[in-house]
C-alpha cells in the first residue's frame, strides 16, 4: 500500500480520513511522521488551502501528502463562515465559541439551509497533485443536538440521515459526509 502523510493537526479529521481510506493507503499522521508544522492557510478557496497544506507537507517529508480543507457554508449568510469556519469566533478550533456565534447570528433567520464542503488534495513532493470535492446538505438547528463528531456537527441537521451530525454515530456520518464524498471522488480519480 502507498504510504501517505496526513497534512492536518486536526485529530477529528485524521480519525475520519483514516476510517474512510485506511484500507486503501498506509496513512501516517504528522506526529507519526515526526513533523511539527502548522501551515498558514493563505488561500481564498477550500481548494487553494488544501493544496497549500498538502504541498508543504509533501515537500517536507518527500512523500505524498493528503489534506482536507473544509467548512460550513450557510445560505442566508452568503456562504459564511466558509473557509473561515475554524476561526469564525476568533480563536482557531474553538468549536463551542464558533457554534455560539453561528446560533446568535442566525437568530430569527427563517432560511437555515447550509452545506458542509470538503476539498481534499493529494500532493506529491514535486508539486503535482490530484484534488476532489464533496458536500453534504442540511440545515442549521436552533440549538445543539447530540455530542458526537466535532466542529458544527451538533447544530447541523443532515437531510439524508434525518438527524444532526452530533446525533449520528461516526460510521453513519462517514457514509454521507462531505469528507467521505470528497475522499471517494479522489479515490476514484486515483483508481483505488
Ligand atoms: P480547516 O482546518 O481550515 O479545514 O477548518 C475546518 C473547520 O470547518 C473545522 O474546524 C470545523 O469548524 C468545520 N468543519 C469541517 N468539517 C466539519 C465536520 O465534518 N463537522 C463539523 N464541522 C466541520
Summary mean pLDDT of the chain: 97
Q: Please check the confidence at residue 92 and state whether its pLDDT lies above 90.
A: no
**pLDDT (0 to 100) of residue 100:** 98
Segments making up each domain of the chain, as ranges: 3-190
CA atoms within 13 A on the CB side of 136: 28
pLDDT attached to residue 12 = 95
Burial (CB count within 10 angstroms: exposed 0-12, middle 13-18, buried 19+), residue 148: middle
Is residue 109 predicted with pLDDT exceeding 90? yes
Q: What is the pLDDT of residue 93?
A: 79
153 is catalytic: no
Among protein residues, the one with the nearest Cα to ligand 1's atom 4 is: 69
- Counting residues of the chain whose pLDDT is more than 90, the rounded percentage is 97
In a 3-state reduction of DSSP, which class is residue 157? strand
Residue nearest to atom 22 of ligand 1 (CA): 151
What does the pLDDT read at residue 11? 94
pTM reported for the whole predicted model:
0.97
Is residue 10 in contact with ligand 1, taking CB distance under 6 Å? yes
CATH architecture of the region 3-190: Alpha-Beta Complex (3.90)
Residues belonging to the chain: 192
Average pLDDT for residues 65-87, to the nearest whole number? 98
- Which pLDDT band, with edges at 50, 70 and 90, does 71 fall under? very high
Burial class of residue 153, CB neighbours in 10 A (0-12, 13-18, 19+): buried
Amino acid at each position: 500500500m502507498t504510504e501517505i502523510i496526513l497534512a492536518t493537526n486536526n485529530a477529528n479529521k485524521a480519525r475520519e480520513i483514516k476510517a474512510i481510506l485506511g484500507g486503501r493507503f498506509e496513512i501516517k499522521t504528522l506526529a507519526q511522521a515526526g513533523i511539527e508544522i502548522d501551515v498558514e492557510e493563505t488561500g481564498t478557496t477550500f481548494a487553494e488551502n488544501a493544496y497549500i497544506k498538502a504541498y508543504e507537507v509533501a515537500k517536507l517529508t518527500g512523500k505524498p501528502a493528503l489534506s482536507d480543507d473544509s467548512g460550513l457554508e450557510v445560505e442566508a449568510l452568503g456562504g459564511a463562515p466558509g473557509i473561515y469556519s475554524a476561526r469564525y469566533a476568533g480563536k482557531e478550533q474553538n468549536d463551542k465559541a464558533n457554534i455560539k456565534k453561528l446560533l446568535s447570528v442566525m437568530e430569527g433567520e427563517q432560511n437555515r439551509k447550509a452545506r458542509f464542503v470538503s476539498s481534499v488534495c493529494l500532493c506529491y513532493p514535486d508539486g503535482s497533485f490530484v484534488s476532489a470535492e464533496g458536500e453534504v446538505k442540511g440545515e442549521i438547528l436552533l440549538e445543539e443536538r447530540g455530542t458526537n463528531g466535532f466542529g458544527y456537527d451538533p447544530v447541523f441537521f443532515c437531510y439524508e440521515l434525518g438527524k444532526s451530525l452530533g446525533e449520528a454515530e461516526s460510521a453513519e456520518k462517514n457514509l454521507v459526509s462531505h469528507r467521505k464524498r470528497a475522499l471517494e471522488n479522489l479515490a476514484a480519480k486515483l483508481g483505488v
